[in-house]
Amino acid sequence: MKAHELRELSLTELEARLKDEKEALVDFRFNKAIAGQIENPARIKNTRREIARLNMIINEKLSAE
């Protein structure tokens, strides 16, 4: 999801997405550790970027209040 699309969401929706992304990252790392390889290694990088993007937008919304 693009940053401008995320800015339209409410704070609770952003926090819920952040929680989901963090859980997905843990799952990816766990599968990589157990299996030794994963189907799409770029998904870890993309998930980390999405988490950073969500944190940035949440901080923007909190500082604007």
The CA distance from 37 to 14, in Å, is 30
The CA distance from 19 to 11, in Å, is 12
Q: Is the pLDDT of residue 30 over 80?
A: yes
Q: Look at the chain and report how many structural domains it folds into.
A: 1
Question: What pLDDT, in 10s, does the model give residues 40-63?
Answer: 889 999 999 999 999 999 999 999
Q: Is the pLDDT of residue 29 over 80?
A: yes
Q: What is the CATH number of the domain that holds 59?
A: 1.10.287.310
Q: What's the domain range around 33?
A: 3-64
CB 29: neighbour CB atoms within 10 A?
13
